[in-house]
Structure 1
Amino acid sequence: FNSTHPYCILPSSLKIFNSTHPYCILLFSFKIFNSTHPYCILLSSFKIFNSTHPYCILLSSFKIFNSTHPYCILLSSFKIFNSTHPYCILLSSLKIFNSTHPYCILLFSLKIFNSTHPYCI
């Protein structure tokens, strides 16, 4: 987050693998649930609504700025596990890149590299 665009996630905070793996997000950027919930992203990794809405992601935090900010994440791409896993975002809910949703993260770009790349989702 920066002062110019306070509701925008900085590309640097996503720690993208530049040349080697340009579409991968580093595991430690999102602090997932290791062995117990390997496909979930912890909600607590993101900005939330303090005490009033402790399990909610701020809608404004995920604003998309079209061509100017191509690395922003679209909130509608995510679904929350509500009752079962209130702190998790379903990884499978990430929408596929296509003409309809050009700014959504590709599901296949969040590759699991296991032993070879332990810090990648």
Structure 2
Amino acid sequence: MSKQVLNVGQCGFDHASITEFLRSHFDVAVTPAADEPEALSALEQRSFDLILVNRKFDCNGADGVEFIQKLDGNAPPVMLVSNFPEAQDAAVAAGARPGFGKSDYGNTEAVQRISDVLQNGDA
């Protein structure tokens, strides 16, 4: 059975790239959410195994770390998608797991981080 990933705040191109990256390594279904209301609605409607959050939402420039801070403790594991180490640090401080950047697609460490959540259930 496919793992469910919610991909929040990406543009269409980046959503497609992330989906391709994830599907090349895992059996996943990736659901896009443009912004916070769409993401929260998706989370109310079904369960996800992982939430990926863009550093800055493409549709409105909202801050991904602020969105992560708003998620409650019952949310699935969350990872920030950003190449900026300071943004990753802020996301982890807000409760996210260490994430990856768009330049890390295929990077062994990024794949292992995702695998720890999706395949090993290390939530």
Q: TM-score, normalised by structure 2?
A: 0.30
Q: By percentage of residues, which structure has more helix?
A: 2
Q: TM-score, normalised by structure 1?
A: 0.30
